Structure 1
Amino acid sequence: MRTLVTGATGMVGRRVLAELRRRGLAATGASRTAETRLDWTDTSNWDDVLDGVESVFVVTPTGSGLGNRVAGFLDRAAEAGVGNAVVLSWMGVGAASDQGVVEERAKRRFARWTVLRSNWLDQDLTEGDFARMARARNGRLELPVTKRTAVSFVDARDVANAAVTALVEDHHGREYTLTGPQALTFREVVRMTKGTDSPVWRFKAVDESRFYFRATDRGWGERYVDTLNERFAVAVAGGAAEVTEDVRAVLGREPIPMERFVRESTV
């Protein structure tokens, strides 16, 4: 069984690819910069990319407006005989979002499908958006949330392992919402990084307009920033604080806690 891993240079995708290969399974990483070039806006090599693929892991870029393109790729994959699709989405997305469009296409076109919806990743604090924001502000993370906004952060390793499990075992027709073991405020998370070499060591709540200005001033696209603000609004309303049992349901163990992530990522 050969698996195609899209988003193979991203925080989850590269971990999915590495775990498949660690298990001795045939896997190909695809993205605009990976070993196999895959550009959602260029369909010219899609048939070549899908040649011999039996399973596909698909990540839809956040805030890209490419939902219909990714859905079109899933159509092409189904027509090429790919039998299993595992789709990574985000906790709290709506049916009309890019991720929602891709979820529905996977359900409609594949004999076997699994949807994973992840909360914010622990790794956002060390290698993702939060880390980049903090580095630009001398370690201060400025977000449009309140001091009481809580998030059940999940480790990218858990998300990746859940994806691999769904690819190699029978999780057809299942939709999993993946969270960490507890909901933490951003201030609580930052306290955990005190005395470490984490790029995030201060936190400040700002309004949406200030966040928008900071982010676009750094060159982030307006659509992407709007999508981030939508996710933050969900978090402020309490929609990111839910703690689920789905990591345990897929992996048979407890999710990695934030304390362990901080310890292991900053030693």
Structure 2
Amino acid sequence: MSTLVTGATGQVGRRVLTELRRRGLPAAGASRDGEVRFDWTDTTTWEPALKGVESLFVTVPMASGLTDRAGGFLERAAGSGVRTAVVTTAMGSENGPPDSEQRVLERRVRELFDHWTVVRPNWLDQDFTEGLFARLARSRNGRLEVPFRKHAAVSFVDARDVADTIVAALTDDTLHGREYTLTGPASVTFREVVRMTKGTESPVWRFKKVDEAGFYFRATNTGWSDRYVDILNERFRAIANGQAAVVTEDVRRALGRDPVPMAKFVREAVN
């Protein structure tokens, strides 16, 4: 069984690819400049990328406007003989508008494949070291400036737990036809995370609340699109409202073990 991994240079995708190969399973990473050339906007790259593929991991960049393209690619994949598809969106996407990008993507996977799994992770632990929060802090000399209070809590999940769940869904038939909302074992406030990383090499070591307008102005000035910043602000509202603090048992349900706590991630990643 050959697996094609889209988003293979991302926080989750590269870990999925690494774990598949560690297990000795044939897998290839798909990207514009990767080992398998793949471009969502260039349909001529789709068929060659799908040659010999039986299972597929799909992740689409947030606010990319690629929903129609992704749907077309999934149709091509199903038609070419791909049996298993795993898609990752985000925690809470099932509650979005029916025509939202992530809900449309989830629906297409369920419609096109007999063996499908939907994985919805919360914010990642790794967002503090290599993802969004790290990028924001580096642009402000280590200060994370976001439109919610430092006491806001999130049930952050480790990208390794997300990748392991995706690999399990790609290789274990018992996980097919299921939807997993992945969180860590407990919710943690941003104040607590900053305290954990104090005195380490973490990019984030200070925190400041700003209003949405201030965040919008600074983020768009860095070159981020209006659409992307609007979606970020939607997700930040979910943090402020406490929706991102919900803890689920889905990592244990998928993997039969507890998820990695934030404190353990911090010890391993930045100390």
List alignment gaps of at least 5 residues for structure 1. none
Aligned to 2:135: 132
Matched, 1:265 2:265: no
Matched, 1:87 2:91: no
1:107-126 alignment to 2 at 5 Å?
107-126=110-129
Aligned to 1:47: 47
Give 1:152 shift. Answer: 0.4
CA separation in 1, counterparts of 2:122 and 2:170? Answer: 20
Letter paired with 1:26: P
CA separation in 1, counterparts of 2:232 and 2:35? Answer: 29
Matched, 1:200 2:204: yes
Aligned to 1:65: 65
RMSD value over aligned CA atoms? 0.9
Aligned to 1:151: 154
Q: TM-score, normalised by structure 1?
A: 0.98
Letter paired with 2:73: F
CA separation in 2, counterparts of 1:90 and 1:96? Answer: 15
CA separation in 2, counterparts of 1:18 and 1:224? Answer: 29
Contact 2:150–2:207, Cα closer than 8 Å, also in 1: no
Contact 1:60–1:98, Cα closer than 8 Å, also in 2: no
Letter paired with 2:126: Q
1:141-180 alignment to 2 at 5 Å?
141-170=144-173, 171-180=175-184
Q: TM-score, normalised by structure 2?
A: 0.96
Contact 2:84–2:116, Cα closer than 8 Å, also in 1: yes
* Equivalent pairs, count: 267
Matched, 1:102 2:105: yes
Aligned to 2:228: 224
Aligned to 2:23: 23
Contact 2:13–2:163, Cα closer than 8 Å, also in 1: yes
Contact 2:125–2:158, Cα closer than 8 Å, also in 1: yes
CA separation in 2, counterparts of 1:124 and 1:208? Answer: 20
Q: Match of 1:56, SS? A: strand
CA separation in 1, counterparts of 2:210 and 2:122? Answer: 21
Q: Per-residue displacement from partner, 1:31-64 (whole Å, max 9, x unpaired)? A: 1232112111111121111111000000011111
Q: Per-residue displacement from partner, 1:120-147 (whole Å, max 9, x unpaired)? A: 0010100011101101111000011123
Letter paired with 1:218: T
Aligned to 1:34: 34
Contact 1:9–1:33, Cα closer than 8 Å, also in 2: no
**Aligned-pair identity (%):** 66
Q: Per-residue displacement from partner, 1:202-250 (whole Å, max 9, x unpaired)? A: 0111111111111111111211111111111122122111000000111
Q: Match of 1:90, SS? A: coil
